[in-house]
Structure 1
């Protein structure tokens, strides 16, 4: 049976609302609770790139045991066609702490439909040229809740540089596919510079400006800059509240001497909805952290 919708459970973090999704290798069970305590909105236990082939079976057992014992996480499984794919699915199906499955090299809507039928909540990791080309089809699969951009593998596959300009088309394609498909704004790829939090913050702000709703993290020190970048500021919330309160019946308002029309008012409403959803997500995360402490 598919996993229940995490949004229906007040004690379960919802990956749809996650600003920061922190990877932790699946064979490092000693780091799982530390990852939860980092402040990340969602932990992603990794069975794929973060685990050497010889450690795959150990990693799978370690993650499954933690999810049975009260841990909660998204799990990145191995790609279709690998020797570990079917075993990953069999081991994870029905586990109470599973928040969703992240599928690497997502290209096939058939594979995704099968996974969604098993798990209910799937986050396709779009990281190939074909995956980006099919992004609108991928986003339309029932059970796909959010697209995730695998920028490093995409650049390798497409033969592009790892620059903001070179990745702009792929990023914008995922944003538009998510919007057209009626799902939550996508998650941007990792920043590899671990020594400079400002680099992570800058990358996260750019991703937010492009229409992303969160970002993958590969180190706990990246979590705070990402969370900050994807949260409405106090000033943005104040301004949005002021605009919404000033709206007249015809949808036109004057705020600080300037006229604001329908698109501005709608953007203000979205900011307030966004802030409210983030608050609910934070409360869920805090309850889970307290339960593990």
Structure 2
């Protein structure tokens, strides 16, 4: 399983379906999100909280998406603050203060992933990204499109996706996590969406079904061609200090850094 900063796939599983928790971990997802919010009906919220807390206390692991509503988020955090808790997704994140309220309830090793899914959250993006305790941003594309009346998930969200990438880099946190692809059976659409996210600078993507995990992992994995190029660049850099030409292209420090990062993503040494 990848570390927090290099996780590529985040798979949701309803918090009231404990029989699915272990299956979600077996899907190959880098991170499993035990969902107490949208995937759970209002009448099942309390039972789901209890089941997730018991699972994390008994040796299970996962990130928990808590509820954003006043009075409920704190109960969620307190119940799920168990040894297996790997992180907390905060829905409707709209301020650094909201993040801070969650962070102060958690041990230092457990960080928050703010879910940006409202206009107010997007306007406060830099403040949220720089808040202490933030691991990486998550783009809640479905709710965001609904609130703004945006029809389409492609170029219609290009500006906003780029803003998340920019804010993450400026705050020196891990690259953000892109939103879900709702067409579960459409492998081509999942592949297009995942590649688009990677090309825009995202580092991961949300999944709503185990069948999506491998496609997402593959899209965010450097290709064999990219790795061959990276190894060639790094090899040439060892014997050619400063800038040099490789296959007709100029290579300097930023290009070498890109090559090193690709090798890092693949778990290969760069020197």
In 2: Cα distance, 1:216 partner to 1:171 partner: 14
Q: How many residues align?
A: 264
In 1: Cα distance, 2:91 partner to 2:248 partner: 50
2:60 aligns with: 71
Superposed displacement of residue 219, structure 1:
0.3
- Is 2:115 aligned against 1:125? yes
Between Structure 1 and Structure 2, which shows a larger proportion of helix residues? Answer: 1
In 2: Cα distance, 1:190 partner to 1:258 partner: 37
In 2: Cα distance, 1:78 partner to 1:23 partner: 14
1:30 aligns with: 19
- Identify unmatched segments of 5+ residues in structure 2: none
2:263 aligns with: 272
TM-score by length of structure 1 reads 0.86
Describe the SS at the equivalent of 2:205. Answer: strand
In 2: Cα distance, 1:163 partner to 1:88 partner: 31
- Is 2:217 aligned against 1:230? no
Contact 1:147 1:174 in 2 (8 A): yes
TM-score by length of structure 2 reads 0.93
Describe the SS at the equivalent of 1:183. Answer: coil
Superposed displacement of residue 140, structure 1:
0.3
- Is 2:258 aligned against 1:255? no
1:220 aligns with: 210
| Partner deviation per Cα, 1:235-254 (whole Å, 9 max, x = no partner) | 21121011011015542233
Describe the SS at the equivalent of 2:5. Answer: helix
- Is 2:96 aligned against 1:109? yes
- Pick from 171, 187, 192 the counterpart of residue 197 of structure 1: 187
In 2: Cα distance, 1:141 partner to 1:259 partner: 38
**Root-mean-square deviation (Å):** 1.5
Contact 1:243 1:253 in 2 (8 A): no
2:3 aligns with: 14
Superposed displacement of residue 257, structure 1:
4.4
| Partner deviation per Cα, 1:107-148 (whole Å, 9 max, x = no partner) | 021120121222240000000011111111100011101000
Q: Higher relative contact order by CA 8 Å / sep ≥ 6: 1 or 2?
A: 1
Contact 1:152 1:162 in 2 (8 A): no
In 2: Cα distance, 1:229 partner to 1:130 partner: 31
- Is 2:48 aligned against 1:59? yes
Superposed displacement of residue 196, structure 1:
1.2
1:282 aligns with: none
1:290 aligns with: none
1:287 aligns with: none
Contact 2:136 2:176 in 1 (8 A): yes
In 2: Cα distance, 1:18 partner to 1:58 partner: 29
Contact 1:246 1:254 in 2 (8 A): no
